[in-house]
Amino acid sequence: MKTRFTLLVAMIMISGSSVMAQGLLGKIVSGAAKVSETANGANGAATSVGGALGTAEQAVGAVNQLKGLFGGKKKKEAEAAAAAIATAAANAIAAVPVLPAGMKITTVTVTGIDYATLKKFNESIQACGSVTETKMKFNSTSSTIDVTHKESTDNLLKLMSETSKDIFTDKNIEGIEDGKIALKLK
């Protein structure tokens, strides 16, 4: 009788541990999803970075709790999950651009442009008063210039029109929206 009672108590404790482990595993998956969402939402960079750090800390804490519930092989799996979550959190944090207050990034996409003209266009964008930095990427089909600036995207386009009259006109504008300008030269 005593043995049966002991076995019954042991089975209840083991099944309770499994339920706890499943709950913690759910927290890990939820934490990984939050890290992914944080990486996708680059707006509000400071908030996103703080959220990613908090989520990563929660996920690592949950994995550490899982380590205590399992032994041997399961513990190694939990450690691997913790490493994967930590890597995802680090990648999410690295992907979020941190800009000084009042600064914006607009991506200017240009199709039908050669490298020499793109370099000249990049220099004319840098001459705009509100521009603090540009990053140029050339491709024979579609090139981009990421412009860090203080003005709105509309005002940036106006400034670019003034400094780049010999490169494009209004008829070359394919699209404009907040943070994006598309130009087609040929």
Cβ atoms within 10 Å, residue 183: 24
Structure confidence at residue 162 as a pLDDT band (50, 70, 90): very high
Residue 81 neighbours by CB under 8 Å, 6+ apart:
28, 63, 66
* 4-23 confidence digits (pLDDT tens): 656 555 566 565 555 455 55
The pLDDT of residue 19: 47
The β-bridge partners of 149 are 104, 131
Contact 128, 159 (CB under 8 A): yes
Residue 38: its pLDDT value, please? 46
Give 25-57 pLDDT, tens digit per residue. 566 656 555 545 544 444 455 455 556 556 656
| Cα angle, residue 83 at apex, residues 81 and 87 outer, rounded to 5° | 115
Identify the band that residue 103 occupies on the pLDDT scale cut at 50, 70 and 90.
confident
Q: What is the CATH number of domain 104-184?
A: 3.30.70
What is d(CA 74, CA 72) in angstroms, rounded to the nearest whole number? Answer: 6
Mean pLDDT calculated for residue range 59-82: 64
Give the position of tokens 């943070």: 179
User: How crowded is the C-beta side of 174, counted as CA atoms within 13 Å?
Assistant: 13
Residue 69: per-residue pLDDT: 59
pTM higher than 0.85, yes or no? no
Query: Which amino acid is located at 49 in the chain?
Result: V
Q: How much is the mean pLDDT over the chain?
A: 75
Give the C-alpha separation, 19 to 68, whole Å: 14
- CA–CA gap between residue 82 and residue 94 (Å, rounded): 18
Distance, in Å, from the CA atom of 108 to the CA atom of 112, rounded to the nearest integer, reads 13
The pLDDT value recorded for residue 39 is 45
Report the pLDDT averaged over residues 116-124: 95
